[in-house]
Structure 1
Amino acid sequence: MSARARLCATVPALMPTSQAGPPDIAGLLGHRMLVQRSDDEIVAQALDDAFAARPGGRVSFPAPWPRLYGTWEVAPDASVAVFAGVHAVRAVEPTGATRWEVRHGCWSGACRETHESYGEYADRRDHRYPDGGSVGFSADGRLVWAHIRAPLPEGGPSPDTADEWLVLDAEDGRVLARVSAEAAAVGSLHLAHPTDPHQMGLSIGEGQDGAPLRWGRWDGATVDVDYVEGDLCLLSVSPSGERLMTVAHDQDSLAVRDSHGAVVDGSEWDAGAVVPRHPDAPPGDDEEMLVCWDWAGGFVDERTLIVSTAESDEEWGRGRHWLVDTMATRGLVQVTYPSPVSWQPTALGNGAWWTPSESRDALQVWELHTPDD
């Protein structure tokens, strides 16, 4: 059994991929934008409901440091971009003006300096490959959640704290709340609750050491954090915000969880047990056919996941994508495409998902084919 995908839009990249990182479709339904980062700037293009560029909806933000020195996110209304760098979190307006900056400990190895600018370490070999944190805007754009390396200039809650999780006022950068992330990150990713601006997810990567998952709730004064047990990568939040999609750090288990981290009954799938043998794999012992979930995919809608096994499939042939109905028992359904697709899918939550084009110079947006199409 398979499900047919239909191409509903092709969205060209904003910059040549030889000069910039890959493009991405960001934002919630009704506020979609195509975003892309080069060393010099972030460019954001507002998209309509058909994923076409909105006239006059293009804006750029000058970058304070090269793209390999941190992560970034554009506000939902594209009024400001926030850069999470090696030594600071900085909000930048389209004019290039700094709206605010929060300095913190250095993400580079054993460095214990509190840098005042990127220029202090730009040419230092020991800062060439830093670890890093991330930032995420709340659904309404009024808060910025920031995962940083401790301490702040004014000190920290404990000398043993490696990483902190901050809630910042998006307008002026005031620290509204702070809490230990209880991690020592190599990198991280924020995923916002799509309707409640006071909730945020944080997926932390510690390299081979693990993958802590945190879910935070800010009550206007303090942050209450669920430190979810296990090494789990948070990949998607459902449109309601009530369910989370995770893949285990070792990529063997896919699960749907509630926002406290508990697995929803019957919503956990072991890759080795449910993924069928690749059709191009040679005959042999199935125990040697290792298969794993990709760290990719998400909620196509409230009940359906798009997932993939492209990483382990590539040894035998083209990577496969799957639909999972989380409220049924029919198992995986393989997705078939009218033409070959490249690498892994990213869900959009409104019945659609996207994949990069083979040349990486565009994003292809897909939805399920129906008999009336």
Structure 2
Amino acid sequence: MTRTPHLVATLTAPLPDPNTAPLELIRLRGGHTALVQRSDDEVLVQHLDDAFHPTERTRFPAPWTRRFGTCAVSPDADVVVFAGTHALRAVEASGATRWEIRHGCWGCTGSHGSFDEYATDARHRYPDRGSAGFSPDGSLLWAHVRDPQAVDEWLLLDPTDGRQLARVDAQSAAAGSEHIPHPDPRQMGLSIGEGQDGAPMRWGRWDGERLSVEYFEGLDLALLDVSPSGGHFMTVSHDQDLLALHETATGAVVSEWDVEKSVPRHPDAAPENDEVWPAWDWAGGFLDDSTVVAGTVEQDEEWGEGRHWLVTRDAPGAVRLTYPAPVTGAPAVLGAGHWYTYSEDRTTVSVWTLIPR
């Protein structure tokens, strides 16, 4: 069984330099959409109207090159927080620093006063990294950092001035991380990658005075997305064999799909090859409260074309998406029933929906 998506728009990279990061589409406050691209020198936010046509652009100067950390655009697109190797820095479009918080170095055991101290140091060439994430209403900023004793910490901050509201031990040894917001600004998911060692996830809840964290001890789960209502979240196991939907309130699994039972053998694999198996990508998300889009691209490309799938809560199998034009890589969910895919050179993205326009 297959399903053909409908093309909504194709967007071209505003920064065509091959050294820039791939395009990313994000949701801003009020359901507006923006295209974000990072170069070594800046973060460009290209606002889009309801038909995905480009409107105004905002540029934020970058305090360090993109190899040294990640960044998060605020829901009002008025500030970008750079989660760097040695510090968190909130930067306005004018280039002014709204605030900065120094923390332990992701590249060594210790701390630094500035980027210049390690910018050309070969020992910091490939540092680990944390991340930052805004609540959907912009009222809170969550940040995953490392202290000078190389302990991973999860901070909750006031984004207006960087004031610390809470700090907890993340109980991880991250190579990288990503924040996954919940519609309730007082909740946030944190997906942590530890390379081959595991993929611990954390769930934070703020009651205005105390930050409580669910650590999901003993589980290696990549957190991918939260449903539009906030009632469920989506994970893929570290070994990429199980895709699951969980109840947000309890963490309990409500639906899961074993990839070998849900996804057929790749049609382009040689019949005599007995080592063909699929694996869920660490990518995808909710199109609505009961339907998710997922991929098996990483493993599929060993045999041929990468495949994308629709999975519906309480339905046993996966439905293949057959696109009217070639797509590359895993699907990235935008929200409001839309997702996007990349061109082969990753200089354009195509936005898709299941609903005819």
2:20 corresponding residue in structure 1:
20
1:84 corresponding residue in structure 2:
83
CA shift, 1:17, in A, is 4.2
Letter of the 1:19 partner, please give it. Answer: N
Gaps of 5+ in 1: 152-158
Contact 1:228 1:260 (C-alpha < 8 Å) held by counterparts = no
Contact 2:284 2:333 (C-alpha < 8 Å) held by counterparts = yes
- What do the CA deviations read for 1:179-214 (whole angstroms, capped 9, x no partner)? 010111110000111x21111110001111111100
Runs of at least 4 residues off by over 6 Å = none
The whole-number CA distance in structure 1 between the counterparts of 2:166 and 2:262 is: 43
Contact 2:37 2:44 (C-alpha < 8 Å) held by counterparts = yes
1:217 corresponding residue in structure 2:
205
CA shift, 1:345, in A, is 0.6
1:367 corresponding residue in structure 2:
353
Secondary structure in 2 aligned to 1:22? coil
The whole-number CA distance in structure 2 between the counterparts of 1:369 and 1:264 is: 29
The whole-number CA distance in structure 2 between the counterparts of 1:280 and 1:112 is: 48
The whole-number CA distance in structure 2 between the counterparts of 1:97 and 1:310 is: 41
Secondary structure in 1 aligned to 2:261? helix
Matched, 1:119 2:116: yes
- What do the CA deviations read for 1:137-177 (whole angstroms, capped 9, x no partner)? 011112110000014xxxxxxx6x71100001100000111
The whole-number CA distance in structure 2 between the counterparts of 1:192 and 1:46 is: 21
Contact 1:238 1:349 (C-alpha < 8 Å) held by counterparts = no
Secondary structure in 2 aligned to 1:348? strand
Matched, 1:71 2:60: no
2:189 corresponding residue in structure 1:
201
Q: TM-score, normalised by structure 1?
A: 0.92
1:165 to 150, 154, 157: 154
The whole-number CA distance in structure 2 between the counterparts of 1:339 and 1:369 is: 17
Contact 1:22 1:360 (C-alpha < 8 Å) held by counterparts = yes
Letter of the 1:293 partner, please give it. Answer: W
2:260 to 266, 272, 284: 272
Contact 1:10 1:364 (C-alpha < 8 Å) held by counterparts = yes
The whole-number CA distance in structure 2 between the counterparts of 1:369 and 1:2 is: 15
Contact 2:265 2:277 (C-alpha < 8 Å) held by counterparts = no
1:184 corresponding residue in structure 2:
173
RMSD (Å), alpha carbons: 1.5
- Identity score, percent: 57
1:314 corresponding residue in structure 2:
301
Contact 1:346 1:354 (C-alpha < 8 Å) held by counterparts = yes
The whole-number CA distance in structure 2 between the counterparts of 1:350 and 1:121 is: 42
Which residues of 2 match residues 1-373 of structure 1 at below 5 A? 1-28=1-28, 30-54=31-55, 57-108=56-107, 111-151=108-148, 162-193=151-182, 195-229=183-217, 230-260=219-249, 262-265=251-254, 267-284=255-272, 288-329=275-316, 331-368=317-354, 370=356
The whole-number CA distance in structure 2 between the counterparts of 1:120 and 1:347 is: 38
Contact 1:32 1:47 (C-alpha < 8 Å) held by counterparts = yes
The whole-number CA distance in structure 2 between the counterparts of 1:333 and 1:207 is: 30
For these two proteins, the number of residue pairs brought into alignment is 355
CA shift, 1:24, in A, is 0.2
Secondary structure in 2 aligned to 1:273? helix
Cα 1:341/1:261, change in 2 over 3 Å? farther
